[in-house]
C-alpha cells in the first residue's frame, strides 16, 4: 500500500507525460527504473503517461498542501506544564512563541519556530492576535 503523498506524486508524474528526451522503449524503461531506484515509486502503467496540465496542476497543489501541513505539524507542540516551555530550547536555538492556544485548563498548544539568538526579535510580547512590540 502506498502513502497518499506517493500516490499524488504518481498522478503528477503520469500527468506530465513522458519527458521530451524519453522516446524509445529502452529510455522509458530506464526512466521508470530510476524513479523506482531513487524515489521508490513504481511507474509500471505506461498507458497513464498522458500529458494533462490541469490534472498535473491539481496534483502539484495537493503535494504542496501536504508539505505545508507536514511542516506546520512539526512546529506545533502540545504541553501540559508551563515549565516545559523553558526546557524547549535546544543548543544555540531560542524558542520564538507565535501563539499559545488553551485547549483545556491544563493543556495548551504552543505554536513556535526555532530561531537563533541573533534572529530573536527583542521587545516582543505575545498577544491573542500574535506577537506585537512592547
Chunked into runs of 10 residues, the chain (134 residues) has average pLDDT values of 78 94 96 92 94 91 75 54 53 51 54 47 39 40
pLDDT of residue 61: 86
* pLDDT of 82: 54
C-alpha 113/C-alpha 95 separation (Å) is 6
Given this model, what pLDDT does residue 2 score?
A: 61
C-beta atoms surrounding 11 within 10 Å: 19
What are φ and ψ of residue 96, in 5° steps? -100, 110
Q: What is the pLDDT of residue 117?
A: 40
Question: pLDDT value at position 72?
Answer: 55
Residues 6+ apart with CB under 8 A from 130: 98, 99
User: What pairs with residue 125 in β-bridges?
Assistant: 132
Q: What is the pLDDT of residue 120?
A: 38
Amino acid at each position: 500500500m502506498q502513502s497518499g503523498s506517493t500516490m499524488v506524486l504518481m498522478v503528477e508524474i503520469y500527468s506530465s507525460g513522458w519527458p521530451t528526451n524519453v522516446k524509445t522503449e529502452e529510455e522509458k524503461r530506464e526512466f521508470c527504473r530510476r524513479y523506482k531506484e531513487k524515489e521508490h515509486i513504481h511507474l509500471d502503467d505506461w498507458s497513464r503517461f498522458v500529458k494533462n496540465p490541469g490534472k498535473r496542476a491539481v496534483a502539484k497543489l495537493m503535494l504542496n498542501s501536504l508539505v505545508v501541513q507536514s511542516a506546520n505539524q512539526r512546529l506545533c507542540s502540545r504541553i501540559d506544564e508551563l515549565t516545559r516551555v523553558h526546557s524547549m530550547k535546544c543548543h544555540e536555538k531560542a524558542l520564538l512563541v507565535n501563539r499559545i492556544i488553551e485547549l483545556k485548563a491544563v493543556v495548551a498548544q504552543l505554536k513556535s519556530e526555532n530561531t537563533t539568538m541573533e534572529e530573536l526579535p527583542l521587545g516582543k510580547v505575545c498577544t491573542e492576535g500574535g506577537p506585537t512590540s512592547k
